[in-house]
Amino acid sequence: MTPVSDFLTLEGVSKTYRAAGSEVQAVEQAAFTVPSGQFLSILGPSGCGKSTLLSMIGGLETPSTGEIIIGGEPVKAPRGDMGYVFQDATLLPWFSVLDNVLFPVRLRDGRTEAYRERARELLESVGLWEFRDKRPDQLSGGMRQRVAICRALITDPQILLMDEPFSALDAISRDEMNVALAAIWDRFHKTAIFVTHSIREAVFLSDRILVMSRRPSAICHDVMVPFPRPREAQIESDPDFVRLCGTLRDKIEEGYKG
Ligand SMILES: Nc1ncnc2c1ncn2[C@@H]1O[C@H](COP(=O)(O)OP(=O)(O)OP(=O)(O)O)[C@@H](O)[C@H]1O
């Protein structure tokens, strides 16, 4: 049994895609553990295998070699106790904000009334309760992503997986979303795996950052983020914050060269 302190464990995880006679080594020998409640970001250049790694943790892709263990159980398929947030909020356009947040419950057992209070708590925590009757096309991109985060948390999952959830947003909305996500994470405190290209975003949000290189597609650095929580947007002008961003930029450049 994996101890709770090592909630997620990857052992020698690799992924090779094979198609039309060619092979792509998307992830090579990933091995790390994540304690329960840690916010971990995976940072690296385009094509280094970040999304593939996240998909394998989520049970959406199967590793070619190695094993992924969550809460003592090997991951064989998507689990009911995971929440997902993707680049596109993928809300149902004909449902209200509230019904979108409750949708995973409707799929699971239909007992949406029992979760209405939790939906209210989640929507209030991101400032959207008063928008509960609006439809997605009446919301901004940032608001839609906040709804997607509430939807991912409605069933109180053990782990939240996020794949570049804010990359389609403009810079101001993205900064707002980082503050909103940090606040929601401080409140609900889930184990979180967050894929991003943005060094600043990773440092602002994370307890720990894994940097991936492109050749090989492997984890090349594992860095703890020392700043206390709660974090305010102003932390980004702190010299230590700026210095850590510079260090990570250097590590990513090293990873590019391979
Ligand atoms: N289904 C697939 N079939 C074949 N190759 C794939 C597949 N999915 C990803 N790849 C390849 O695997 C490598 C890693 O892709 P992946 O999307 O995991 O990288 P990434 O770091 O998330 O990239 P980005 O930051 O651009 O989203 C890339 O070379 C990609 O083209």
Residue 226 sits in a domain whose CATH number is: 3.40.50.300
The answer to whether 160 and 187 are in contact (CB under 8 A) is no
Please report whether residue 247 resides in a domain: yes
Please give the Cα distance from 191 to 7 (Å, whole number): 8
Q: Count CA atoms within 13 Å of residue 251 on its CB side.
A: 20
Please report whether residue 239 resides in a domain: yes
In the prediction, which pLDDT does 3 show? 45
Q: What is the dihedral of CA 227, 228, 232, 234, to 10 degrees?
A: -40
Position in ligand 1 atom list of the atom nearest CA 212: 21
SS3 state of residue 209? strand
In the prediction, which pLDDT does 258 show? 56
Please report whether residue 152 resides in a domain: no
- Pocket mutation for ligand 1, best pick of 43, 48, 194, 198 (most atoms within 8 Å of C-beta): 48
In the prediction, which pLDDT does 109 show? 85
Instruction: Give pTM, 2 decimals.
Output: 0.93
Q: Which domain holds residue 249?
A: 1-81+195-258
SS3 state of residue 28? strand
**Is residue 48 within 6 Å of ligand 1 at its C-beta?**
yes
Please report whether residue 248 resides in a domain: yes
Total domains in the chain come to: 1
Q: Which stretches of the chain score pLDDT less than 70?
A: 1-5, 255-258
Nearest CA to ligand 1 atom 13: 26
User: What digits encode the pLDDT tens for the residues 177-192?
Assistant: 899 899 989 888 899 9
In the prediction, which pLDDT does 242 show? 97
Nearest CA to ligand 1 atom 24: 46
What angle, rounded to 10 degrees, do the helices at 141-153 and 97-108 form? 30
CA of residue 35 to ligand 1 center, whole Å: 27
In the prediction, which pLDDT does 19 show? 84
Please report whether residue 232 resides in a domain: yes
Please report whether residue 99 resides in a domain: no
Please give the Cα distance from 12 to 68 (Å, whole number): 9
The answer to whether 12 and 65 are in contact (CB under 8 A) is yes
Nearest CA to ligand 1 atom 29: 47
202 sits in which H/E element: helix 199-205
Please report whether residue 95 resides in a domain: no
Please report whether residue 121 resides in a domain: no
**Is residue 20 within 6 Å of ligand 1 at its C-beta?**
no
In the prediction, which pLDDT does 209 show? 97
Nearest CA to ligand 1 atom 18: 49
- Pocket mutation for ligand 1, best pick of 15, 27, 50 (most atoms within 8 Å of C-beta): 50
Nearest CA to ligand 1 atom 14: 49
Position in ligand 1 atom list of the atom nearest CA 55: 18
Tell how strand 159-163 and strand 82-85 pair up: parallel
- Pocket mutation for ligand 1, best pick of 13, 17, 22, 23 (most atoms within 8 Å of C-beta): 17
In the prediction, which pLDDT does 257 show? 65
